[in-house]
Chains A and B, each alone.
Chain A
């Protein structure tokens, strides 16, 4: 291996030599492609980039990249990644997990990585099912999901990942979808730019156990009718024909979907990604009554954990002299 080979520039340079083993048609392929493109665009040397994952289909992700990678244990990727970041804050650390990892067995670690604002890019691949263990209902499965563990349909209320993240005190909360190959990179680049915990839910289709779980959202031809692409400072307009919008009801603290034909444009809500109340409301917009909110729902500056703790490159190493003064 050439020791000087540290400046890859194309997406292909971020691919490892390992054969990708997801099911044909899995949404993870689409996400892998986007991530490689984004890494090439960021152009950070791959030796300074680390992907830490938990367990599940999504968690195989690090094996397929040429960066440093650590495939850990179920649910604990955020905790391991926190240790990586505290040890070496200079690294670019990404956390990959599914809805089991982030929202079920590792829900506690998601909560605390977010509230501490550890500088991690946390990508939740939400496919609303346990894939690798053969199709059990997951904490994000809709009520009524039939699965080997819920043969009569699940009765559990699914968790809203973004509302959870906001509730945990996350300072960067965004959503994308696997098939939206021009939209998702913009979200991931924003997540990477944010210094602190960046939480991105990627709606990902499991073609084997939960095909179509997100309906039209990740159907490229219908997506614009089922989603709204948020842009800071822009009026909230959606629909394939850009003929619908959202209006904010201040009193009720909720959005209302309207037809632009009936509503003057100045009445439309303008997206303010620093507004936490609206971010909660956006996180909860659901089909079929509302478009699902995509893009950056919430972003606000806050001290990043490792720096707040003083664990920076400037930190003086602890040496024998220092030890002597302690004893």
Chain B
């Protein structure tokens, strides 16, 4: 086969996007992850995003069983997984027709043609074969019977057809490695380690990988090797691939080490938060984990742990946070440190459990009974998921309050390269000294922070009782006194307000002299907004970007900052919850760009919408 194809990226952009798509049983995520590791080894910057169905193994070949993995990589800062793919590898008709929309005009399309028979087309619900009917004319099509090639490559292994076919993802990966001039060594080493107890499978996968790679050479297509950039400077330390969920798990472990306190992580299985519990359960000994019987128990056990002197952490997604709200009210009035993580997903109710949305913002800030303010933070990148946990813990123990951290399905699953911090240089989490000089009152307050003391059971001589009933200021005894309730309500609110004074003032992520527009985002949209604003400014626009990591209390200087710009617009994956919050707080005419498709922002969509705001 001799096919000569122009593989220069259509846009000439300095980064490349590759997307793998196939059945959820085809090993797409595995192949994608290996490609990301190889990208890290090549010292390119990158970001990945898995796009998989909620069904574990939907019927083979069907549209709803398609699993995809996308990676963008390049020499410079890569901030998103990319809007459109330069290369799409599709393993069957269903994967092709559901993912073609993600391929650039003129992009390289590698299709495993083995399933493009009448049966395969029927499963995908199409009548005409797209490989034959000319509908792919806008792209550079490479058809390969990958199943057949894999079986040929493995003929000497004596494997059954079914088992041998399983290696097809590595055959395709080998081809993609060839396209980008990648080394096979580290994936081969990983396969040998992964299948140490089953050397035949390791060897078969390696053979498939090499066969796919060798096939590239026979195709006479120009490789992409010059696109993935050279090494970044100052990378003495090897970059790790880190997903937001993994970074958050490490951040939770860091809380234990930096606070020198036990952490009890309590959770109930829910997509997309479960990966945190999995990661922490594997860190045996670092963090105590507890898989509770339900969401409420996981919040309550975390509260019990905090009451007993550990740092209690509970996590869930939106529906689970809703179930935890009564318990959060208790933690708030008992004034105990606690962290509640919400890995947001598209809602309401079951919604789209694997898809991201930022629609729990107002629930996090306001969604409790009674007057119950508490701090809300949101990390902005996978790596930031590490730092945000340490910050949340510092706030929790310093102000004796529950803190909510808002991640989402995109942030949890997206991965990028990460240079871990120098542990020795990380500041400790400071737990205020408990010094009573013989005058202990459970609800006496620190003059500066208004926090009450943290005196866990087991502390000699200080036995006392606390609870959810309103407490007398100071003594903590039950009180129904009207003035006392008003005072305690005020104190609980002011305690949270004062957190802002101890935290950094607001600072623009992209400053711009005489900007015509300020765009405010929060959470996982940082990469897409940063990229969109940077590109627009390069194209001659004047836009400033502010990304909030601290949603409540709002950071110092925000109102003054907003007043400096003629137009302020929020960009959020909800129907404008931050915009509504800023309007009500500052009586400012905040505009809103919103998207609720269950997908992260595409840079191109953001650019178009921001331009429209500039023209208005």
- B237, chain A: closest CB distance, angstroms: 10
Q: In the complex, A80→B301 CA distance in Å?
A: 4
Q: In the complex, A322→B461 CA distance in Å?
A: 34
Known: A73-B330, A320-B423. A87 touches B463 (CB 8 A): no
Question: By the criterion CB–CB under 8 Å, are A79 and B285 in contact?
Answer: no
Q: Tally B residues with Cβ within 8 Å of A.
A: 62
| B462: contacting residue among A1, A86, A87, A320, CB under 8 A | A1
Q: Is A232 an interface residue (CB 8 A)?
A: no
Question: By the criterion CB–CB under 8 Å, are A83 and B463 in contact?
Answer: no
Question: By the criterion CB–CB under 8 Å, are B310 and A323 in contact?
Answer: no
Report A71-102 residues with CB < 8 Å from chain B CB.
71-73, 76, 79-88, 90-91
Q: Specify the chain A residue showing the minimal Cβ separation from B296.
A: A76
Known: A69-B466, A71-B465. A79 touches B292 (CB 8 A): yes
Question: By the criterion CB–CB under 8 Å, are A326 and B290 in contact?
Answer: no
Q: Is A316 an interface residue (CB 8 A)?
A: yes
- A299, chain B: closest CB distance, angstroms: 24
Question: By the criterion CB–CB under 8 Å, are A320 and B258 in contact?
Answer: yes
Complex interface: chain A residues within 8 A of B456 (CB): 87-88
Q: Specify the chain B residue showing the minimal Cβ separation from A69.
A: B465
Q: In the complex, A71→B308 CA distance in Å?
A: 14
- B250, chain A: closest CB distance, angstroms: 6
Complex interface: chain B residues within 8 A of A318 (CB): 253, 256-257, 262-263, 285-287
Question: By the criterion CB–CB under 8 Å, are B303 and A80 in contact?
Answer: yes
Complex interface: chain A residues within 8 A of B426 (CB): 320
Question: By the criterion CB–CB under 8 Å, are B305 and A327 in contact?
Answer: no
| B304: contacting residue among A81, A319, A320, CB under 8 A | A81
Q: Is A196 an interface residue (CB 8 A)?
A: no
- A106, chain B: closest CB distance, angstroms: 9
Known: A315-B285, A323-B253. A109 touches B465 (CB 8 A): no
Q: Is B458 an interface residue (CB 8 A)?
A: yes
Complex interface: chain B residues within 8 A of A4 (CB): 460-461
Question: By the criterion CB–CB under 8 Å, are B296 and A63 in contact?
Answer: no
Question: By the criterion CB–CB under 8 Å, are B250 and A327 in contact?
Answer: yes
Complex interface: chain B residues within 8 A of A91 (CB): 308, 457-458
Known: A69-B465, A320-B257. A83 touches B457 (CB 8 A): no
Q: Is A234 an interface residue (CB 8 A)?
A: no
Q: In the complex, A50→B304 CA distance in Å?
A: 11
Complex interface: chain A residues within 8 A of B250 (CB): 326-327
Q: A1-42 vs B: 1/0 string, CB under 8 Å? A: 111111000000000101000000000000000000000000
Complex interface: chain B residues within 8 A of A68 (CB): 457-458, 463-465
Q: Is B221 an interface residue (CB 8 A)?
A: no
Q: In the complex, A42→B464 CA distance in Å?
A: 20
Known: A16-B465, A318-B286, A322-B286. A3 touches B438 (CB 8 A): yes
Complex interface: chain A residues within 8 A of B301 (CB): 79-80, 82-83, 86
Complex interface: chain A residues within 8 A of B292 (CB): 79, 82, 112
Question: By the criterion CB–CB under 8 Å, are B304 and A67 in contact?
Answer: no
Q: Is B596 an interface residue (CB 8 A)?
A: no
Known: A16-B465, A316-B285. A84 touches B307 (CB 8 A): yes
Q: Is B138 an interface residue (CB 8 A)?
A: no
Between-chain CB contacts (< 8 Å), 26 pairs: A3-B438, A3-B462, A47-B462, A67-B463, A69-B465, A71-B469, A72-B300, A73-B300, A73-B327, A73-B330, A76-B296, A79-B297, A82-B292, A83-B266, A83-B307, A86-B264, A86-B301, A87-B307, A87-B310, A91-B308, A108-B294, A111-B293, A112-B293, A316-B285, A323-B257, A323-B286
User: A71-B466, A71-B469 known; 13 other A-B pairs, CB under 8 Å?
Assistant: A1-B440, A1-B461, A18-B465, A45-B460, A47-B459, A72-B300, A80-B307, A83-B303, A83-B312, A91-B458, A310-B285, A318-B287, A319-B257
Residues of chain B at the chain A interface (Cβ within 8 Å): 250, 253-254, 256-258, 260, 262-264, 266, 283, 285-288, 290, 292-294, 296-297, 300-310, 312, 326-327, 329-330, 334, 420-421, 423-424, 426, 438, 440, 456-469, 477-478
